[in-house]
Structure 1
Amino acid sequence: ERFDPLDPPQGLFSDDWAEIFMAGGKVGYLHSTMTREGDRIRTRTVTVIRLGRVDSPVQIRSEQRTTETVSGVPLTFASEMKAATMNTTTRGTIRDGKVTIVSSQLGMEQSQTYPFPKGALMTWGSYRETVRRGFKEGTNYTLTLYAPELRLDGPVEARTEVGPVESFPHKGKTLRGHRMVTTLTSPVGEMTMRSWVDDLGRPVKALMPVPGLGDMTIYQAEQSEALADFVPPEVFLQTTLPAGRPIDRKRVRRIVYRLTRKSDEVDLSGLPETDMQRIVKESPRAVELVVTRRPRRPVSDDPKPLPPAQRREYLAANLMMNTDDPKLIALAKKAAGGERDPFRLADRLRRFVTDYVTDKNLNVGFATASEVARRREGDCSEHGVLLAALGRILGLPSRVVVGIAYVPRLGRATDVFGYHLWTQFYIDGRWVDYDAALRESDCSPARIAFSTSSLRNTSLADLSLPLLSKIGAIKLEILEVDGKPVKTR
């Protein structure tokens, strides 16, 4: 039913359902509502997605809620994310130009306060402004949004261009909508979404990029259609790169790689140089780098300490690593066993985490250190974040590394590089790599780092998405192994 976005009626005035498709199949549904209660608008969006992940399909349910004034001023928001056994809730309050965010996990809470971006809009406010601007072809505008799922500490800019009315087929019917292209800009990069909306601004169809996996397509549907059964397609194996040859991870000392972009949309600049990784050649379309196994002993007579601000950041608690958690503190003390030498301590921690995570599976996605400490399950990201947290508790500055690593087999694929996350400790004036998931303290060079992070004001998902967006659009070549040129099969 039609309603006036400047003065919607009391009660439930919008109730929309949609089907979600990805990788050639239906993966879930979306349900969104808007309700007026006095001079407040309450929005609620529930998304349920099931994805194949090798042999371990995973279901993700998210719920996002906002309370805003009728004029679009945000007041409060909340979100809940359930992925397998992991459950995270976040709530926020906006008052006096500041936003206070409280995250809850396993009965523990962490609170952070930031300046709230002046004039920033959330769900109802951005919808209201979109309808007010209209859908005349050629209309362009930019809105300042507050989107906590993308950024906690600042605004996200949304630039929209309105195109013509277009038609497209779906399930034997012809659908029509005003084409809208919206580009979101945040510290993690840009994301462009395309949608086709009706005269009320409700999406008939939407295309949202899913890094490394192509587009997620959303179609307006009746409730019965949206809730109909669906089979999760396999998506995890789409984020791998062929190595072209087997690699002996235990023996190899040095590998030279070339990464070539297959799409103009992929940016290979900015790859980090670390203790193991060095860039040796760059061109507009490719980068060559050397990754070398490094010693786990002092190599400098005068190691450079971290600057004070960086040291505080890499020892601080954050939403992913609650270093005040009594469970984590107890585990750190147990793992250390009284060891004080930083290299031997780091090795003890790595070995402890490798053994402590007993259920090594892909059922969990981007859990916090506290969740891993209690569930004792997960894959590389869970190993990496727990190891980083234990190090911080014991005074070792830590960060996580997101990249790709070689595995001889992943599902039905062999000799591939896939998404991977591991840990670095700042020891001896350098960031030293440790990999609890692959059982390596003396880390193999069969890996490439794409980014590093203290995880301050970000999540593992936020850090990982830019990499996943590259994997499907780059070519990997191994040029040398231990000084010997090689030919890719």
Structure 2
Amino acid sequence: MKILQVLTYSKADTHWPTSQIAMLISAITLTILLASCASNQQLVAVKSAEPGSLLSDQWQTVSLGDHKMGYRHIRRELNSERINSTETLALTLSQPGTRDRKISTILSYQESINGKAISLSKTMTSETANHQMNAKVSGNTLVVTLKQDAKVEKYAIPEPFYLPEGLRLALLKHEPRDVPLTYYSWNFSTRSFDKISLTINAYTDSANSAYAWHIQKATAIGENSKTSDIFTDAHFYPLTERSHSNGEDVLFASCDRACATADFIPNTHVYRQLIQSPYRISDSALQGKIRYHLSGDFDLQPPTTYEQSVTISPEGTELVVCGNCGTESPPSDEDLNTALKDNYWLPAQNPIFKNLVAELLPDHDSDPSGQMQRLTRFVTRHMSDEPSYSGYATALEAFNSQQGDCTEHALLLATLARAANIPTRVVFGLAYNNERFLGRKYVFVPHAWVQAWTGSKWESFDSGLGDFTAGYIALGLSNGDQSDILKINEQLHKIRIASAIQIRRR
């Protein structure tokens, strides 16, 4: 599988959006609770099956828009009075200027034959990110284990809570049909429960006689929702699903193994996240002050920071960006403590990072800004010049692999800073590129960088692109959690930069 392209590559390409890949995977895996069962033609009746029996084996192609991305394989077995469902999602993504990247995500579920949830797990594997998360139902509590650091988290389970077979059985029993079925499912990407509503309609179009039900699925995301259309047989085994996400449809279509796993030419999905600038912004303007006007029906409120002021009106969102344009209030002691905390994505208390910062930072240098500059230079040198956007890696994974893009740069830099007792936060937003990026000019690209509290202000540091300029637009602040970047990426396709005006001193 090859794509012949003429591209200009530069170090600036380190802001290739891993975030979009994470968003795509999240959008796909969110559909599991209705897409993980097989068609009735492959079904073996559970009650008549022998222990160890294969209940179903289903293959699907996965496409974004009109372009194939990979396949999904769903296998259901009966084992010791339990139904084990395993879904393998294999994606191949094109990365201009280098080889294609493969990402594998495996979701596993254990349920009783009556549909009672027992346990579930998620394993994601790529060149840069390898995550394993396990969850077990204990009474009314979901006990989640994050394998990388053996951290255990507990969550109260809302009712009703379903895994795949439990949901299918609930659909069979649900009456009346004109009332939506509402339930909760677990989302490993956000480590929270999604509230989902299913509207069930009889399928009456004679175009496909295999369909019996058309289910409209809505997953609540803040004040908005992610939607999909699912077409099932009479027993609520899905045959086709079209998930609406980020402005384009993800299509799951059942076929045989040969069809699902057949070779294809991967599409360069990162192009979909580029936002065109209304015109070229000069280098001198980037070193000064720029007023942006953002339009569109996006559901984001960009933060006011020391470097960015925000005004929201019915006409849109106005941002003014420069080195000292904002009027952000100083952080409280609680804010600073939060910005120092160790977490799954930023494991600042790991001895590897504690020992490293002791080597990198001289005892006599107590200036936080100077320390951040040293740490930034280290991350720039440590990470590979060839960016990789295959997954969303933790800071420890990024350090070990030395691979990634802007998100891995930002997570590693923020972790080192916290290990050095410098409060930091990860910024997700956009960065303007005045050079040719992926063959295109004058575009804003999804980007991540770090802001550190240097004693009097939150100051930006970026080991991927270099010094902060007025071309940086902050859309959200985070402690590095993947769920934060997913929420922002759901809105990117709705954002239009209507104007970018340099503000000159009089």
Cα contact 1:138–1:163 (8 A) shared by 2: yes
Determine helix, strand or coil for the equivalent of 1:391. Answer: helix
Cα contact 1:5–1:131 (8 A) shared by 2: no
Matched, 1:37 2:79: yes
Distance in 1 (CA, whole Å) between partners of 2:284 and 2:217 is: 44
Match of 2:287 in 1: 252
Match of 1:226 in 2: 260
Instruction: Rate the CA distance shift 1:250–1:390 in 2: closer, same or farther, 3 A.
Output: farther
1:52-73 alpha-carbon deviations (Å, 9 max, x no partner): 2333432111001011222322
| Partner residue of 1:130 out of 153, 171, 192 | 171
Q: How does 1:61-80 map to 2 (within 5 A)?
A: 61-80=104-123
Determine helix, strand or coil for the equivalent of 1:217. Answer: strand
Matched, 1:452 2:477: yes
Give percent identity, aligned residues only.
Answer: 21
1:451-476 alpha-carbon deviations (Å, 9 max, x no partner): 11113xx32xx322333333323221
| Partner residue of 1:386 out of 409, 412, 415 | 412
- The aligned amino acid for 1:293 is G
Distance in 1 (CA, whole Å) between partners of 2:143 and 2:133 is: 10
Q: How does 1:55-454 map to 2 (within 5 A)?
A: 55-56=97-98, 57-105=100-148, 108-133=149-174, 138-149=178-189, 151-152=190-191, 154-165=192-203, 167=205, 176-186=211-221, 190-211=225-246, 214-243=248-277, 244-248=279-283, 252-261=287-296, 264=297, 266-268=298-300, 270-283=301-314, 286-294=316-324, 304-308=330-334, 310-338=335-363, 339-407=365-433, 408-440=435-467, 443-454=468-479
Cα contact 1:260–1:474 (8 A) shared by 2: yes
Determine helix, strand or coil for the equivalent of 1:378. Answer: coil
Instruction: Rate the CA distance shift 1:54–1:316 in 2: closer, same or farther, 3 A.
Output: same
Structure 1 residue 410: Cα displacement: 1.3
Structure 1 residue 39: Cα displacement: 2.7
Q: Which moved more, 1:376-385 or 1:159-168?
A: 159-168
Cα contact 2:128–2:392 (8 A) shared by 1: no
| Partner residue of 2:54 out of 9, 12, 21 | 12
- The aligned amino acid for 2:426 is V
1:345-398 alpha-carbon deviations (Å, 9 max, x no partner): 122222221222133413443211001111112111011000110111111122
Q: What CA RMSD, in Å, does the superposition of the two structures yield over aligned residues?
A: 2.8
Cα contact 1:359–1:378 (8 A) shared by 2: no
1:313-346 alpha-carbon deviations (Å, 9 max, x no partner): 3222211112232222232223323321112112
Q: Which moved more, 1:35-44 or 1:470-479?
A: 470-479
Structure 1 residue 311: Cα displacement: 3.2
Distance in 1 (CA, whole Å) between partners of 2:87 and 2:394 is: 24
Match of 1:21 in 2: 63
Distance in 1 (CA, whole Å) between partners of 2:77 and 2:230 is: 23
Structure 1 residue 22: Cα displacement: 1.4
- The aligned amino acid for 1:366 is Y
Structure number with the higher strand fraction is: 1
Determine helix, strand or coil for the equivalent of 1:377. Answer: coil
Determine helix, strand or coil for the equivalent of 1:131. Answer: helix
1:281-326 alpha-carbon deviations (Å, 9 max, x no partner): 421x52111111239xxx99xx945242x33332222111122322
Distance in 2 (CA, whole Å) between partners of 1:8 and 1:282 is: 63
Determine helix, strand or coil for the equivalent of 1:433. Answer: strand
Question: Structure 2 unaligned runs (5+)?
Answer: 1-39
Distance in 1 (CA, whole Å) between partners of 2:359 and 2:386 is: 21
Q: Which moved more, 1:410-419 or 1:346-355?
A: 346-355
Structure 1 residue 181: Cα displacement: 0.9
Instruction: Rate the CA distance shift 1:114–1:312 in 2: closer, same or farther, 3 A.
Output: farther
Question: Structure 1 unaligned runs (5+)?
Answer: none
Cα contact 2:128–2:391 (8 A) shared by 1: no
| Partner residue of 2:488 out of 464, 467, 473 | 467
- The aligned amino acid for 1:147 is N
User: What is the count of residue pairs matched by the alignment?
Assistant: 459
Cα contact 1:168–1:175 (8 A) shared by 2: no
Instruction: Rate the CA distance shift 1:168–1:365 in 2: closer, same or farther, 3 A.
Output: farther
Cα contact 1:177–1:197 (8 A) shared by 2: yes
Cα contact 2:377–2:463 (8 A) shared by 1: yes
Query: TM-score, normalized by length of structure 2?
Result: 0.83
1:236-273 alpha-carbon deviations (Å, 9 max, x no partner): 11111112214317952211001111xx5x324x2211
Distance in 2 (CA, whole Å) between partners of 1:73 and 1:430 is: 52
Instruction: Rate the CA distance shift 1:402–1:282 in 2: closer, same or farther, 3 A.
Output: same
Distance in 1 (CA, whole Å) between partners of 2:57 and 2:463 is: 46
Instruction: Rate the CA distance shift 1:25–1:358 in 2: closer, same or farther, 3 A.
Output: closer
Cα contact 2:128–2:403 (8 A) shared by 1: no
Instruction: Rate the CA distance shift 1:483–1:220 in 2: closer, same or farther, 3 A.
Output: same
Cα contact 2:196–2:219 (8 A) shared by 1: yes
Query: TM-score, normalized by length of structure 1?
Result: 0.86
Instruction: Rate the CA distance shift 1:38–1:401 in 2: closer, same or farther, 3 A.
Output: same
Instruction: Rate the CA distance shift 1:202–1:35 in 2: closer, same or farther, 3 A.
Output: same
